[in-house]
Amino acid sequence: MKDFVRNILAVLAGLVLFAFVLIGFVIALVAGVMSDGTVAEPVRPGAVLHIRLDGILVEDTEQDSFSELLGDNFTTVGLKPMLEAIKTAKQSSDIAGIYLEAGNFEVASPAMTEELRDALADFKSGGKFIVSYGDRYSQNCYYLCSVADCIMLNPLGSVEWCGLAAQPVFYKGLLEKIGVKMQVFKVGAYKSAVEPFTQTEMSEENRRQVSSYLHDIWGRILDDVSDSRHLTAETLDAYADSMLTLASGEELLEKGLVDTLSYLDGVQAYIQRGHPDSRQLVSVEDWNLLQKPVSHKEKIAVYYAYGDIVERSDDLLADEVIDAGKMCADLKMLRNDRTVKAVVLRVNSGGGSAYASEQIWREVKLLSREKPVVVSMGGMAASGAYYFASAANYVYALPMTLTGSIGIFGVVPDGSRLLDEKLGLSFDVVKTNRRADFGTVARPFDPDEAAMMQSYIRRGYHLFLKRVAEGRGLSEASVEELAQGRVWTGAQALRNGLVDEAGTLQDAIGKARQLGGVSTCGIVTYPQPAPWYMELFDEPAKHYFDVSLQRTVPGLGRILRDVSVIAQTGQLQARIPYSINLINWN
């Protein structure tokens, strides 16, 4: 018996030892992947911060080591680490300037580029230089790099400059062919998220609102580039009409869009001519790793809420979602944390589930009664995202932010024709009550049921109006005039009272300090990243499927993602009209 016990203990000890060895091996492997075999060297005076504009820009991203192991070449670039690096680089005497290397830079919304550009302009205000180089500048990349002191272009390169366009996809014809009819219920003339299911072109109201925000955004882009390049906005607008996208490098140089034509190897030589000590290039990742956090007893919490608003985050096709249950728990935790003196909600979302938005609104409301809550709107903070943002004490938006879209809709598919005529499936039913089979895809709603659904949607819409009116200190009648599902830019929302001030995330943090009564405090970001080992089991497949699909077949990828999210978020929804599809932007 003793030998048996001894053998069992020996086996267990061996398993524990093996587990420790395996964990050590994985940690070493991850560390090797994350550092690429090198350790960030000390930064020498005169160093240049090297920002690669290559990949898909998202609100925030943790370094994805396991995707590299899996061979994922689709990189994501975090706006948050970029902004942090630029801010600290401005304050450091070791950093002389910034080198922007333009690549295949994909940005979901102009406001995200605008905030990054504002940070670069602030960096320049400290007397430091910025130089950019690109083999090809996409329109959003050129807008961003136009802030540079010198724009360098490959002699055979190009600059995309042709204006903005939105091109929504309509599914009505496809649905008719397969025998599916979408039963649509909505409130608001501008709530056009349902139009792809019911029409083959934009309604006049939707065309009017899209034209309004596109021209507002394009006007701001023209003004910003005009200030940096010393060309009039009228001249730049005329350049867009003349299709300079196909112009030669010499013509772009002559027209003043770029400063010099050079190959990539000429960048370092150009920098050193003006700054002989600037020989060291430091990446954003390495620079941020070298920054030492300062410990404070009191802190401002910055909570990042980006993606579609869902009741639960189990949607494979949506890598970035706002999980209402998790966010509510996190906000409750921040409310009870006495070291947190104020909270900044960084919002970048086009909305989603109306039910989930209401739950988040409740927690934001409770939090704002205990300590100041300041909202910083990123690329979008619309519909359901505006719903809960309206409960904050103070709201910032970027001028190009898309916000508002105060409205509710519901979509319920009727697949009876597909099932019967196309697939040959027959259904029978036994029920105890008249409407026990309500909502099944095997039959459409009858007129009474349709009326009930419309009443249900209208009730949700009036609750939305009430929440906004209460949060913004407006009458419901005045909110109704701004609602109807209408999308506004941040600049327009400032004029009509839906936001308090135009500003960046840093402006929002400054306001939170003021309202919280703390001059010096730590900044802590939430939600906290998951442990690295969870990434091994969850994120790679989910992230790889999402990004690969969208980059390989962009149109189909977007359609599948949008339909899957709509199906997942339930019947009652508060989201911006379709995915904002700006062509000629990336």
Q: Is the separation of the CB atoms in 134 and 157 below 8 Å?
A: yes
Name the nearest CA neighbour of 134 among 102, 159, 106, 104. Answer: 102
**What letters, b where the CB count within 10 A reaches 16 and e where it falls short, cover 411-423?**
bbebbbebbeeee
Name the nearest CA neighbour of 76 among 538, 559, 534, 548. Answer: 548
201 burial via Cβ count (<10 Å: 0-12, 13-18, 19+): exposed
Q: What is the reported pLDDT for 515?
A: 96
Q: What is the reported pLDDT for 491?
A: 97
Binned average pLDDT, 10 residues per bin, the chain of 586 residues: 52 52 46 43 90 91 49 73 96 96 91 97 96 96 97 97 91 90 86 86 92 96 97 97 92 97 93 86 94 82 94 62 94 96 96 94 98 97 96 98 93 86 87 87 89 92 96 95 94 97 96 92 84 50 50 51 52 63 65
**What letters, b where the CB count within 10 A reaches 16 and e where it falls short, cover 296-305?**
eebbbbbbbb
Euclidean distance between CA atoms 377 and 150, whole angstroms: 31
Q: What is the reported pLDDT for 28?
A: 44
Euclidean distance between CA atoms 305 and 81, whole angstroms: 16
Is 255 catalytic? The answer is no
Q: What is the reported pLDDT for 30?
A: 45
> What DSSP element (H or E) covers 165?
strand 165-166
For 256-303, where are the alpha helices, taking DSSP H only?
Answer: 266-274, 284-290
Residue for token pair 């998202």: 58
Please tell me which residue in 158, 228, 376, 383 is annotated as part of the active site: 383
Euclidean distance between CA atoms 285 and 277, whole angstroms: 22
Please tell me which residue in 181, 186, 191, 255 is annotated as part of the active site: 191
Is 90 catalytic? The answer is no
Phi, psi of 573, deg, nearest 5: -130, 150
Q: What is the reported pLDDT for 71?
A: 46
- Provide DSSP, 295-332: P-SSEEEEEEEESEEESSS--TT-SSEEEHHHHHHHHH
Q: Is the separation of the CB atoms in 346 and 78 below 8 Å?
A: no
- Beta carbons within 8 Å of 317's beta carbon, 6+ residues apart: 545, 546, 549, 560, 561, 564, 565
> What DSSP element (H or E) covers 536?
helix 532-537
Token readout for 466 is 């009430």
Token readout for 197 is 């299911």
Q: Is the separation of the CB atoms in 46 and 280 below 8 Å?
A: yes
**3-state SS assignment for residue 343:** strand
Going from the C-alpha of 435 to that of each of 163, 177, 327, 425, 441, the distances in angstroms are 52, 29, 35, 22, 14
Euclidean distance between CA atoms 275 and 282, whole angstroms: 16
- Provide DSSP, 128-152: -EEEEEEEEE-HHHHHHHTTSSEEE
End-to-end CA distance of the chain: 72
Token readout for 98 is 């910034």
Q: What is the reported pLDDT for 148?
A: 98
- DSSP 8-state assignment for residue 213: H
Residue-wise pLDDT tens digits, 270-282: 998 888 888 899 9
From the centroid of its chain, how far is CA 310?
15
Euclidean distance between CA atoms 576 and 402, whole angstroms: 9
Q: Is the separation of the CB atoms in 501 and 394 below 8 Å?
A: yes
Q: Is the separation of the CB atoms in 67 and 543 below 8 Å?
A: yes
Euclidean distance between CA atoms 469 and 283, whole angstroms: 46
Residue-wise pLDDT tens digits, 454-493: 999 999 999 999 999 999 999 999 999 999 999 999 999 9
The strand pairing partners of 283, in sequence order, are 50
Q: What is the reported pLDDT for 34?
A: 39
Widest CA span in the chain: 93
For 379-423, where are the alpha helices, taking DSSP H only?
Answer: 384-389, 416-417
Q: What is the phi-psi region of residue 553: left when phi exceeds 0, alpha when psi lies from -120 to 50, beta otherwise?
A: beta
Euclidean distance between CA atoms 275 and 281, whole angstroms: 13
> Pairing relation of β-strands 165-166 and 582-583?
antiparallel
